[in-house]
Amino acid sequence: MLVYPKWIPGEHAPNGPIVDVTGMRFFANGKEVSWRRDTVDMYAFRCEIPAGVETLEAQLDYLLPVESSGANVGSATAQIAELPWNLVVLYPKDASSDDVKFSAKLKIPAGWRYATALPVTKDSGDAIEFETVSLTTLVDSPVLAGAHMNTYDLSPGKIPAHHLNAAADSAAMAEVPQEQIAILRQLVAETGALFGGRHYRHYDFLLALTDHLQPNGLEHHESSDNRVPEKTMHDADILETQMDLLPHEFFHSWNGKYRRPAGLATRNYQETMRDELLWVYEGLTQYYGVILAARSGGWKPGGLREYMAVTFARINARPGRTWRDLEDTAISSQLLYTAREGGSSWRRPVDYYEESELIWLDVDTLIRERTGGTKSLDDFCRGFHGGEGSDPKVVPYALDDVVAALSGIVAYDWKKFFEERIRSHGPGAPLAGLERSGWKIAFNGTPNEHMKSEEESGHVMDAEFSLGFSVHYPGVENADEIADVVWGSPAAKVGLAAGMKLIAVNGRKWTPDILREAIRRAKTTKGPVELLVENDEFFQTLKIEFFEGERYPHLEAIAGKADVLGEIAKAKAPRQ
């Protein structure tokens, strides 16, 4: 029996794109043999193999999606191709992915360049031949190829080597400004200062700059597959919203790849993964992705605070917490990654990313407080994830191992600490760490800078903290469509719902400026904001009574408290 990879590491869901596997044929000693799919397991195939046959040849095609049809489907544009090898392999059922060996060969369009962490043995110009590796290494080492690609050395003269490989839909956007290279060099140095040991032979950031693939990041031991808008490296607003992506995926090499929850350290890609510790795997990574973006100079202290203000304000206001605890968002992540945007405040999407930033900030500040500033969460990372450097390998852990390692730094009932937070039904998010770091969330009418960047780059107007909804700009994809409505908000109370279209505000064709002005005016006039909306072919006017004006979150210093957040976010390595 042969199988097609179903549970792809880092995707946390059984989403191997089997539906796009086509043209499958099998040959035993050169003679075609018949095959039949298992009637229960759609990823398994049985061949009729005559006695005495030792070699079975399989052929298959993979229909590369033209549209970006999901975050995790490998795809290509006219100028860029991303190839995760799991798209095109079959392997014997029940085999360990460490034991099955593959020798891969790849042809790319003439004149294209490519980058991958997979060692190359021969590049004849016609085809690239790769070293024979285990299936584990193959699936861990995707290839990025493109017509316009530049490679930058991020740790010149040092071992292990680190490179940024940037492929874009245009030659100009594949040029990464020196300022950004300096930030990434600092990032490499900061991970050295944080962990000590590294668990890769070399590291390649694969960066696809295109508006035609779904933005995404996927971690690997020795590389990461990052997909961002084409202008990311040349547009301050887009860059602001993507600043923590590369630090996040890089941190995963230690947290997620080298150290991995036992439930995710499976023998092969058919075995069910258990996602309940994603608040460590993704949550700690999310925290350090953000902190490393600041330590490496990507986010200035003010930018970090604006990011945190909006992120934490959103999480703090999740009404869905009353029925679903944080741990359940992790356990059910295999469902939540593909959940639609509407209803997110009541459903709760993959909240174990952002809410866990608060939990780990809580841990970090608690350690600092209880050790008089001599120890921090960095010490946990150094011991748990760093240690002696090594080649890529997986060291699984259970929650008890995390608890024990933290207890080794400072005695505390960490198990209870985590349980209280991951099983909480609120009200509100765990904000104690934010306050211990010297800051609290405060609202006023001044726009949040991070939200402004989100709006400029995403073209979605965000009135979630006032009227309680967000809406796609006119003239863009999904124009005028209500993106989401906060459960229980003033907008929800009058019946506004995701998917409706906003036509007019107070009798005038809507634009973001007109809507903002209407929210501001209602504060003085105490009259409702009238929205004319289209629900399929039916129109209605909704009157929202909200008189507090525009509301945006910021972090406000708590009087008399030290800026511990500033200390956490400071560079720890010498300037590169």
- Output b/e per residue, 57-89; b: 16+ Cβ within 10 A: eeebebeebeebeebbbbbbbebbbbbbbbbbb
Length of the chain: 576
Which residues are bridge partners to 22 per DSSP? 61
CA gap 361, 381 in Å, rounded:
14
Q: Which residue is nearest to Zn ion (CB)?
A: 282
Q: Shortest gap between Cβ of 253 and Zn ion (angstroms)? A: 11
Least separation in angstroms between residue 218's CB and Zn ion is 8
- Nearest CB to Zn ion, comparing residues 85 and 352: 352
Q: How far is CA 283 from CA 35, 106, 422, 473, in A?
A: 43, 36, 11, 31
Q: Which residues of 465-496 are buried (b: 16+ CB within 10 A; e: fewer)?
A: bbbbbbbbbeeeeeebbbbbbbbebbbbebeb
Scan for tokens 């940037």, then name that residue.
166
Give the helix/strand (H/E) hosting 449. helix 449-458
For Zn ion, the closer CB: 287 or 380: 287
Q: In whole angstroms, how close is the CB of 248 to Zn ion at the nearest point?
A: 6
Of 282 and 355, nearer to Zn ion (C-beta) is: 282
Rounded Cα–Cα distance for residues 265 and 78 (Å): 36
Question: Which residue, 43 or 360, is less far from Zn ion as judged by CB?
Answer: 360
Token pair listed for 191: 């991970």
Q: 220 or 554: whose CB is closer to Zn ion? A: 220
Residue identified by tokens 């902190």 is: 291
**Least spacing, CB of residue 373 vs Zn ion, in Å:** 29
Nearer to Zn ion, 148 or 248 (CB): 248
φ, ψ (nearest 5 deg) of residue 362: -60, -50
State the nearest-atom distance from the C-beta of 214 to Zn ion, in Å: 15
Q: Which residue, 91 or 353, has its beta carbon nearer to Zn ion?
A: 353
Least CB distance to Zn ion at residue 331 (A): 17
Q: At closest approach, how far in Å is the CB of 544 from Zn ion?
A: 37
In the complex, least distance from residue 352 CB atom to Zn ion, rounded to whole angstroms: 10
**Which of 282/550 has CB closer to Zn ion?**
282
User: What is the DSSP track for 293-307?
Assistant: HHHTTSS-HHHHHHH
What are the backbone dihedrals phi and psi of residue 540, each rounded to the nearest 5 degrees, phi first? -150, 160
What's the min distance (Å) between Cβ of 10 and Zn ion?
7
Instruction: Give the nearer residue to Zn ion in terms of CB position, either 9 or 392.
Output: 9
Closest among 447, 489, 500, 149 to 309, alpha carbons compared? 447
Q: Where are the beta strands (DSSP E) in 356-433?
A: 395-397
- Cβ-in-10-Å burial (0-12, 13-18, 19+) of 179 comes to exposed
d(CA 73, CA 412): 43
Residue type, 194: L
Residues lying near Zn ion in the complex (CB under 5 A): 282
> How near is the Cβ of 282 to Zn ion at its closest, in Å?
5
Neighbours of 246 (CB within 10 A): 25
Q: Taking the complex as a whole, how short is the minimal distance between the CB of residue 232 and Zn ion, in angstroms?
A: 18
> Taking the complex as a whole, how short is the minimal distance between the CB of residue 82 and Zn ion, in angstroms?
17
**Number of helices and strands in the chain (H, E):** 19, 31
**In sequence order, which residues have a C-beta less than 8 Å from that of residue 542 and are 6 or more positions away?**
491, 494, 495, 496, 530, 531, 533
What are the residues facing 76 on neighbouring strands?
A: 81
> Distance (Å, rounded) from C-alpha 193 to C-alpha 9?
27
Residue 288 or 510 having the CB closest to Zn ion: 288
- What's the alpha-carbon Rg for the chain, to the nearest Å? 25
State the minimum distance, in angstroms, from the CB of residue 286 to Zn ion: 7
Pick between residue 82 and residue 282 the one whose CB is nearest to Zn ion.
Answer: 282
Residue whose CB is less far from Zn ion, 219 or 449: 219
Q: Measured from the CB of residue 225, what is the shortest distance to Zn ion in angstroms? A: 12
Could you identify the residue written with the tokens 């992120």? 311
User: Distance (Å, rounded) from C-alpha 548 to C-alpha 544?
Assistant: 12
User: Is there a contact between 98 and 12 (Cβ–Cβ < 8 Å)?
Assistant: no
What are the backbone dihedrals phi and psi of residue 236, each rounded to the nearest 5 degrees, phi first? -60, -40
Nearer to Zn ion, 281 or 380 (CB): 281
Between 217 and 528, name the residue whose CB sits nearer to Zn ion. 217
